[in-house]
Structure 1
Amino acid sequence: MTSPRIRVAAYVIRAGRELLVFDHVGMPEAGTQIPAGGVEEGEGLREAVLREVAEETGLRTAVVVRELATEDKPHPTTGEPRRTVFFRLEVPGDTPDAWVHEVSGDGGDAGLLFACRFLRLPLEEPLVDDQHVWLDL
């Protein structure tokens, strides 16, 4: 059996009541998501989640509060095994409401534009790939 790809996902919370999400500019079929991605070789999980938030949203003010859950679930399109560790992070209350960020790093998303924004909790609509399921922890 193939070992799962190890990933991290970030619930970035502002003012205790808003969740950071993003949409791919020009790709509505990708759905509304939270920052998430693979852990690099030799990288710790907390380090990885902060890197993913910075790469996908440009935010460098996020602070890890705690690890919430670990989910073993295959990739929604490829079916490849993956293990995702979900974290709660917080950002200052003066973080902007919305912005567009060009994805950095050397991953497959590099160069894409993500429209970032905060949504009030509880969410009115589910996130893509059921990324919202661990929010209540």
Structure 2
Amino acid sequence: MTRPRIRVAAYVIRNRAVPELLVFDHIGMPAAGTQVPAGGVEPDEETEHAVLREVAEETGLSSATVVRRIAVEDKPHPDTGQPRRTTFFFLRDDAGLTFACRFLPLPLRRPLADEQDAWLGHIDPLWTTMPGYRD
């Protein structure tokens, strides 16, 4: 049996009048869909370190902090079918952005690529209790 590729994915939420989720699109690759920061875990790297590294590498955001692990999902890659295991984390960031990512209001109107939004429902109670959240 093939060992799964170990990955992490980040739900970075910031507080505004409506909580927002950090997402991005691959410019020139619209078929890739809207995604959250995610990527591979390096050998001997802790998953919490990996998720912060991936967020920084993919978005430039270095002020995000891990709140907690949300879920671990075993799911094959959508194109290759190769096994992979992704640990989803809830992170928060309330710093201003100066790069070309965007935040979407929650709940999302459309699903993210590769069902990356599948675990968002597991943090709903958490973001509504974060300082600055307004009903």
TM-score range, shorter chain: 0.7 to 0.9
> CA offsets, 1:6-61, max 9 Å, x none?
10000000007100000011211110000000000110000000000000000000
Partner SS state of residue 47, structure 1: helix
Confirm or deny: 8 A CA contact 2:4 2:85 kept in the other structure: yes
Identify the residue that residue 4 of structure 1 maps to in structure 2: 4
| 1:18-57 equivalences in 2 (<5 Å) | 18-57=20-59
> CA offsets, 1:83-107, max 9 Å, x none?
0000000001x422x732xxxxxxx
- As a proportion of its length, which structure holds more helix? 2
Number of equivalent positions: 120
C-alpha RMSD of matched pairs (Å) = 1.1
Q: TM-score, normalised by structure 1?
A: 0.85
Identify the residue that residue 122 of structure 1 maps to in structure 2: 107
Identify which of 40, 44, 64 aligns with 1:62.
64
Q: How far apart in 2 are the matches of 1:55 and 1:87?
A: 16
| Structure 2 unaligned residues grouped into runs of 5+ | 123-135
* 1:83 alignment partner AA: R
- As a proportion of its length, which structure holds more strand? 1
Q: TM-score, normalised by structure 2?
A: 0.86
